[in-house]
């Protein structure tokens, strides 16, 4: 999936704006692009947007199009990228799903899971970066 790059430095959270990572524009994503996108396309965007958090692909499902990404700091939890919902047994902190239309959060036991449609990836990447800042996560030099 091609991400449209912009030179301007936009850091607000409005729909359709640039994803920013330390002042660098990462890109915007249109609904058209999401329709054609694959899980691998989303992984490429996410790894680039969160590069300074030290993302590592933890697991790739053999039976479904699902990828799990962990970060250097375990307090950040795990990011799940998928085209579909998960089983009730599974509960990840961050969830990017193609099959949902609105962002929401779900409480399970003592943890919160954040769910986001692929259309809102820019805002979700900013949200994850802000969460890392709040935790005081050490950044990886890139």
Closest CA relative to residue 39, chosen from 50, 49, 47: 47
Q: Are 27 and 18 in contact (CB under 8 A)?
A: yes
**More confident position, 51 or 64:** 51
d(CA 22, CA 132): 13
Q: What is the pLDDT of residues 121-142, one digit of tens each?
A: 888 998 999 999 999 998 887 6
Task: Please tell me which of 22-26, 73-77, 98-102 the model is most confident about, judged by mean pLDDT.
Answer: 73-77
Sign of torsion, CA 141 19 96 103? positive
Banded model confidence at residue 89, pLDDT cuts 50, 70, 90: low
The predicted model scores a pTM of 0.75
What average pLDDT does range 36-44 have in this prediction?
A: 86
Mean predicted lDDT score pLDDT of the chain: 77
Residue whose pair of structure tokens reads 């239309």 in the numeric block: 101
Band (94; pLDDT cuts 50, 70, 90): very high
Give the closest residue to 52 by CA, choosing from 71, 31, 27.
71
Chain centroid, CA 136 distance in Å: 19
* Distance, CA of 17 to CA of 64 (rounded, Å): 31
């Amino acid at each position: 999936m091609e991400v449209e790059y912009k030179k301007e430095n936009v850091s607000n959270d409005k729909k359709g704006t640039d994803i920013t990572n330390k002042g660098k524009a990462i890109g915007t994503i249109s609904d058209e692009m999401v329709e054609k996108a694959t899980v691998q396309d989303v992984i490429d965007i996410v790894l680039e947007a969160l590069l300074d958090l030290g993302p590592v692909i933890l697991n790739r499902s053999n039976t479904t199009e699902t990828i799990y990404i962990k970060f250097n700091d375990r307090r950040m939890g795990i990011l799940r990228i998928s085209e579909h919902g998960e089983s009730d047994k599974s509960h990840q902190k961050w969830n990017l799903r193609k099959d949902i239309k609105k962002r929401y959060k779900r409480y399970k036991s003592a943890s919160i899971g954040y769910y986001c449609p692929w259309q809102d990836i820019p805002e979700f990447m900013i949200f994850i970066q802000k969460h890392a800042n709040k935790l005081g996560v050490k950044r990886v030099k890139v």
